[in-house]
Structure 1
Amino acid sequence: MAGGAQDRGMEISENAALVVVDVQQGFEEEAYWGPRNNPGADRNIAALIDAWQSSGRPVVFVRHDSAEPGSPLRAGYPGNGFKSYVEERRGKGTGPELSVAKSVNSAFYGAPDLDSWLREGGVRQIVVAGIQTNMCAETTARMGGNLGYEVFFALDATYTFDTEGPWGWTLGADELARATAVSLHGGGFARVVRSAELVAAVG
C-alpha cells in the first residue's frame, strides 16, 4: 500500500501537522500488554519528530490518561508519562506545538480540542504516528479522514500487540497492523506510507 502512495507522489504542505499518539512509558510493560511488533517504531517516531521540528511544522503530542485503575497508562502512574525520547524533544521545535490529553481512542476527543487548533492554524494535512497501530492511532486517522483532513498514516512509526477477540479468535500484532493498513488505505481514510517517505518529503 505504501508503494502506491509513493507512486502518486507525496506533497507535504508547509503546515502539515504531525500527531504523535500515546508514545508513553506504560507501553513498555510487556507483562501487561503481551508481545508487540515493529521494534523499529520508536526510532521512526523519533525521526519524524526531528524532521517536523527542524522544518518548523506543527507537532501534536497526545497522551492517554486511562480511566482503568490497573492500566499502565493511568494518571499519576509513571507509565502515564511520555517515553524519554519524546519528552526530550517536546518544546524543541521552531513551529507550533500542542499537547493533548485524552481518555478515549481518538485524539480528536481530548483537551484542548485538536480539531479547533488545527483549523485555527489552517492545517489541512495530518500525519499520524504512535501507539497502538490498530487502536488509538487508527481511530485518530479514521476520525481525521471523516473530518476532512488529508491523513497520512506512518505505518512503520506505529506498533501494537497480539490481541484476543470474540470466540477465542486471536490475531498477532503484525496481522493487526496489516489489517489497519488495508482498512485505512483501501477504505480511503488515509494514505498509508513509510516514515522515510515522509522524512524525505519534508526534508
Structure 2
Amino acid sequence: MTSSSDTALLVIDAQESFRRRADDWAATANPAVIDNIALLVAHAREVGDPVVWITHSEPGSGGVFDPASGFVRVIEDLDPRESEAALVKTTVNSFGSTDLHDRLQKAGVRRVVICGIRTEQCCETTARVAADLGYEVEFVTDATTTSAIPAHGGLAAVSGEDIMRRTESILAARGFATIASTSEWIGAVRAPGLP
C-alpha cells in the first residue's frame, strides 16, 4: 500500500456474508450503508487516500463467515480494485489478526476513516484500537450499519438505531473518534486538493 496522503479509508466487513442472512439484512438499521460507503470510496480515490478492504473470516465454522461458503468477499456493488489492499481478519478488531498497523505505518498514515458493517462490533472495536495505537480516527456512522439485538436473559431489546447512536456517543465522548456523516466528511471535512 502506497500513499501520498496521511489518511486511509478502512472499509470493514462490507461483505456478502451479511447479505446472506436475509432476515437480518432486511432489518438493517441503515439501508443506505452501501451507497454511503461507495461515496466514501469514490472520494478517497479522488483525493488519493488509500482504501483498505477488510473482511471477516471464521474458518471451519460452516456458516456464512466460513471462507468455504464463498461469501467472505466484498459486496460487489462496492467494486474494490485489485490495486487496493485487501485483508482478511479473524478477530473483531481489524488490527489483531492482520498486518494493518504495519501497512498503515509504512504508508505514513496518521488518520483512519472508518466505515462498514456492524457499527458496534468490528467498526467500533477497530476505532478504539486505532485510537489506542495513536491514529486520529474519523467514524462515519451513516456509512455503518447494524441490526437490533433481541431481548435476552432478562435484558431489554435494543434497536439498531439506538445501537448506532450509542456508539457515536461513546466514541465521541470518550475521545476515541470524531463523528462525521458521509456528506460532512466528503464536503466539509476534506475537499479534493486540500491537505
Please give the TM-score of this superposition, normalised by the length of structure 1. Answer: 0.84
Mapped pair 1:145 → 2:139? no
Unaligned runs of 5+ in 2: none
Alignment of 1:172-191 (within 5 A): 172-191=159-178
Secondary structure, counterpart of 2:67 in structure 1: coil
Unaligned runs of 5+ in 1: 1-12
CA–CA distance in structure 1, aligned partners of residues 148 and 22 of structure 2? 11
Any idea what the Cα deviations from partners look like across 1:69-128, whole Å, max 9, x if unmatched?
Answer: 243222121321210122x23236xxxx321111111001133x1111111111110000
CA–CA distance in structure 2, aligned partners of residues 162 and 174 of structure 1? 8
User: Which residue identity is paired with 1:153?
Assistant: F
Q: Contact (CA 8 Å) 1:133, 1:159: kept in 2 or not?
A: yes
Mapped pair 1:114 → 2:100? yes
Secondary structure, counterpart of 2:86 in structure 1: strand
Alignment correspondent of 2:38: 46
Secondary structure, counterpart of 1:19 in structure 2: strand
Q: Which has the higher contact order (CA 8 A, sep 6+)?
A: 1
Q: Contact (CA 8 Å) 2:74, 2:80: kept in 1 or not?
A: no
Q: Provide the aligned C-alpha RMSD in A.
A: 1.9
Q: Which residue of 141, 146, 154 corresponds with 1:155?
A: 141
Alignment correspondent of 1:5: none
Identity of aligned residues (%): 31
Q: Contact (CA 8 Å) 1:100, 1:110: kept in 2 or not?
A: no
Alignment of 1:50-69 (within 5 A): 50-67=42-59, 69=61
CA–CA distance in structure 2, aligned partners of residues 33 and 197 of structure 1? 26
User: Which residue identity is paired with 1:75?
Assistant: P
How many pairs align? 185
Please give the TM-score of this superposition, normalised by the length of structure 2. Answer: 0.88
